[in-house]
Every structure is written in C-alpha cells, then in structure tokens.
Chain A
Amino acid sequence: MPGPQPVEATKVTAAPVPPVAPVLRASGGEIPDRLFQSAMTVCGLAILGVLVLIVYELISRSSLSWHAFGFKFFSISDWDPVNEQFGAVPFIYGTLVSSLVALVIAVPLAVGVAVFTTEMCPKALRGPLSFFVELLAAIPSVIYGLWAIFVMVPLLGQYVEPGLGKWLGWTGLFTGPIFGYSMLAAGIILAIMIIPIISSITREVLMVVPQHQREAALALGATRWEMIRLSVLRNARAGIVGAIILGLGRALGETMAVTMVIGNRPEIARSLFAPGYTMASVLANEFSEATGDVYLSALIEIGLALFLVTIVVNALAQLLVWTVTRGQPARGHA
C-alpha cells in the first residue's frame, strides 16, 4: 500500500526507503555547531594570542640590549648611539613629565565639561556638546601635531612662554631660552588629546550616580553646586580617578603629536621651556634608522618598558571604572 515507509530494518516491503533521520541529524546538528563554536573560539583566543605575541616579541628582541646593559639601562642618562651607550632615563623622564603636565591641564577641564554636560546643561545641548567633545577624540594624532607645529608652538613661543617666564619664572619651571618646541608644548597638546577620554568616562560615571542621591541633597537645602560636590562628585570619586588614570595611559603612549613639538632632545631639564624626548618619540624618530643590533635592541627595550607601563596603568584604570559602573568597560568614545 502507498504511504511513507517506516525506517525500521524489520519492515522490508516494496522499495527500501533511504534512511532520512540520520542524515538530518548530521547536517543540521552537532558537527557544524561544534565547528562554528571552535571557529569562534579561535577568534576569541586570537586576542589572547595577540597579547602573548606582543610580550614574546618585545622580550625576545630586546634581550640583546638587556644582556648588554641590565638594570643600568634605566639609570643611565646617556643616549649615545654612536658610542653604543644607551640609557633610557631621559625618555622616562620626558614621558612622565609631559604626561603629568597634560593631566594637570586636562583633568580640571575634562571634569568641568563632564559636570556641565550631565548636571548643568540644558537637555537640548547635551547631544551636540558630547558630539563635539568626541569629535576631538576622532582627530588623528598627526593632525594635532600639524596644527601644533604651525599654530600652537608659535603662539607659545611669542606670547605664552614669555608671559609665563616673566610672572612664574621664579618657580624654576619657566626659565631658560624659548624655542617654542618644549615640554610645555607637548604637555598642552597631550592635554587637548586626553580631555575627550577623561570627559566621556567621567560623564558615564556621573550618570550612574543614583538620582535619589541628588534629590536627597537638594531636599536638605543644598545649592546646585553643593549638591554636585556632595552627592555626585563624591559618589563618583573612584570612577573619576579611573577616568584620570585612563587618560594618563593614553598620554603615556601618545606618539606623533608629541614627537612633532617636544624638540627631541634626550636631556633632562627642570624648565618646561626646554626641549625633551619621550619613549614613544624616540621610537618614532630613530627606529627606522637604527644601525646595529644593539641600537635596535635598546629601542625595543624602551618599547617593552612603554608597553609594560601602559598595560599596568590601563589595567588599573579599567578595574577602577569597572567597580563603579559594574561591568561596563571604560571606552574612550561611545
């Protein structure tokens, strides 16, 4: 009789029906699923692989310099490629000082913008304002550098630095010949570059503060500024610190804009008017022209130091922001 034939082996009537059920299981079921999961896992592991790759390559290629200089690499201040004397102190100093100057300028401005955007701004302005601040983050570093060379440095050299020298020269920070290309210039351009990051994360952190904290302060008779100071900023302290550290991490690794305005002189000077050199800048300037294996290895060792410092700083910052926003990572831009 016509009709669908069952698959059991016992029933052998008319034409044998090809086994349908096992074929269905194989095509739509386990094997492709396992393959897919494996493929995606490989992609995920690739990220861990990238980290391992970076660490491995940096350590192995800098071993030559490490064996030649050891810990003295980080205490000598001579950078003399001709005589194969390599000491990284001027670059570490330059990186730290330029980043510190950047933070001193950027933090008040970034927190101010964040507070204004979340607490004081009329709602209609919030979107455009945050868009413009994030537009600052989208500008490439080399364009910041270009603008800094032709607009900021002349301004600094002709008006700002003479003024600073006259009024604040007694501090010892604003003395000496004025080139324009200086640690101060690097600090200022870095500040402009890290403001968007600090500001956007601070904004995220401020928005997480529960509304009833604000209302409680206002109900107790606080003015708006007192309310912001007491309930919002105080609550968001850890997150703001995290935002600042994240900005620091960005400033430490910033290369192009700093290279173009810092003057590229591997010496330590107290004055901010003096040219300097950062770890990232020396890599940018001298890497492609490094002659000799020790020279290249020394540069890669600087790269390793830079990598380790930024990893630690960024990991710390991510942890801080994570504890405040409960799981959302810090992002430099939305």
Chain B
Amino acid sequence: MTDQVMTGVAVLTVLLVLAPLVAIFGYLLYRGIGSINWAFLTQTPKPEGEVGGGMANAIVGSGMILGIASIIGVPFGVGAGIFLAEFGRNRLGGAIRFTADVLNGVPSIVIGIVAYSIVVLYQKHFSALAGGVALAIMMVPMISRTTEEMLLLVPQALREAAYGLGIPRWRTTLSITLRTATSGVITGIMLAFARIAGETAPLLFTALGNEYWNTHANQPTAALPLQIFKYATSPYDDAHRQAWAGALVLIILIVSAVSAVRYVVRHGTFGAA
C-alpha cells in the first residue's frame, strides 16, 4: 500500500514541478502575444508613462553585446577545452577543470562587479564592451567544459591514425579531432550563448541600458533582459504590457536555441558538421 502511495506522491511532485512551467509559458503567450507587432520590433522606447514604443534598440543592443561576448569568449573557451582534452591529463589540467566547474557557479552579479572594476572604472563610462566582457567571462568556463567533453568522445584511434600518417599534432587536433567533434562543440557554444542571452545582472552596471539607439560599443547600450527588468518594475501598465512582449521575444529566441541544440544532439550524426 505504501508503494502505491509513494508512487502517487512521486506523480504529484512531477505535476507540481511542471505546473509553473506551463503557467509561465502560458502567461508569456497570453500576455505577450498581443503586443508583439511591427511597431514593437522596430521602435525605440517612448518616455516613461507614455503609451507605445518598442524594444528595437534593446534587441539590437543585446545582439551587439552578445556578439562582443562571443568574439571574446568562444575562442578562449574552445582553446581551454582543447587544452583540457589534449594537453590537460595532468595536475594542472585537473586544477583548471575544477576551477572551471567552480566558476560556473559564481553569481553573475559578482562577474558584473569584476567587469565594472576592470572596464568601466578605467574607461570612466559604461559601455556595451563592458557588458560583453562580463558575459565573456561567464562563457569561457561553460564552453571549455563542454568542448572538453566533446573532444574526449572522439576515439583515440582517429588521432593515432593521423599521427601515423605523419600529420603534426596541431594539425591533427584542429583538422581531425576538432572537426569530428564539431557538432558537439557547437552545441556547447549555443548552450552557453542561450544561457548568457538571458542574463540581466551582469549588465546592470556595465552596459547600463539606454533609451535610444546605440551602435557604438563604447557607450551604454540597451539589452533585452535589462529592458524587461526596467519595464516590469515600472509603475505604468503600458510598460508592463511591453515587458511581457519583450519576455516572449526573449524566451522564443532562447527556446529555439535550446531546441535546435537538442535536435542536433539527437539526430546529428557523429562527426557530421
């Protein structure tokens, strides 16, 4: 009898856990779908309190900040992953591996403080660059671990065959091992990208946000999560409406990335780029 009760309890926990998921997505669609229109996607915010306007600058700004973060973070992350997989089977590699796992747990707002400290305080102004640096610092440990895992999956025989043919180590690693693990490595990069795309805290005092168009990396820039935060905590109803719309745009972008990743992992053949 206890057995059946516990089975019931377990089913109940699953329902309780899935309920917020359904509720959140449901509300996002319900409250946000009506507000996503051409105006929303192409206009900049109106002054506070006025009805209308959009989040175009935030979408573009997010793109810029994420672009900067990726340019800095992806090379270092993949490089560190290559180091851990190919040259890191020793104490140094173990220390770096542990550090990366621990860094993955550092609160993003602390990373924001560090980026503020090294970029904003030196430049004496907020900028998209500072925001990009903060997000890049978050990306590197994430990408390094997934890249390492993917590279370790490549059979040793493949490397040895290449060495046997006289291909130097650097060439083997880049053209053979990395090429074989490409889909997995890209999966890891996209997962990291999806995670930092939704980050707000590190941008609060690095990119700061901006009510107007900005395409200069050296100036405060709007970002989608920042705008959502600002509008959600604003006293005006129209701002709330736009916050829901912005949130829906953000979640669509992130869920697409995560789902594409899962599709590639499940259906992409081993080694197919």
For the complex, is B41 an interface residue (Cβ under 8 Å from A)? no
Whether A260 pairs with B105 at a CB distance below 8 angstroms is: no
Is A142 part of the binding interface, using a Cβ–Cβ cutoff of 8 Å?
Answer: yes
Residue-wise, chain A 41-77 has the 8 Å CB interface mask toward B (1 for contact) of 1111111101101100110010000000000000000
Instruction: Give complex CA distance A53, B244 in Å.
Output: 37
Interface positions, chain A 6-32, Cβ under 8 Å from B, are 28-29, 32
B168 interface contact, C-beta 8 A: yes
Q: How many residues of B contact A (CB 8 A)?
A: 95
- Min CB distance A245 to B, Å, is 10
8 Å CB interface, A269-328 against B: 280, 283-284, 287-288, 300, 303, 306-307, 310-311, 313-315, 318
Tell me how many residues of A have a C-beta within 8 Å of chain B: 89
Within 8 Å of chain A (Cβ to Cβ): is B14? yes
Residues A47 and B80 in contact, CB atoms below 8 Å apart: yes
Does chain B have a CB within 8 A of A207? no
Residue of B whose beta carbon sits closest to that of A330: B101
Given contacts A44-B80, A329-B101, contact A260 B232 (CB under 8 A): yes
Whether the Cβ atoms of B103 and A47 lie closer than 8 Å is yes
Instruction: Judge whether B208 and A288 touch: CB under 8 Å.
Output: yes
B135 within 8 A of A: no
Is A243's CB within 8 Å of the partner chain B?
A: no
B interface residue numbers (CB < 8 A to A): 2-3, 6-7, 9-14, 16-18, 20-21, 23-24, 27-28, 31, 75-80, 82-84, 86-88, 92-93, 95-111, 113-114, 116-118, 137, 140-141, 144-145, 166-171, 173-174, 191, 194-195, 197-201, 204-205, 208, 225, 228-229, 232-233, 240, 243-244, 247, 250-251, 254-255, 258, 262
Q: A residues engaging B (CB < 8 A)?
A: 28-29, 32-33, 35-37, 39-48, 50-51, 53-54, 57-58, 61, 108-110, 112-113, 115-117, 120, 129, 131-133, 135-136, 138-147, 149-151, 192, 195, 199, 223-226, 228, 246, 249-250, 252-256, 260, 280, 283-284, 287-288, 300, 303, 306-307, 310-311, 313-315, 318, 329-333
Supply 6 further A-B pairs (C-beta < 8 A) apart from A44-B83, A47-B100, A117-B14: A44-B80, A57-B114, A61-B113, A150-B31, A195-B17, A256-B229
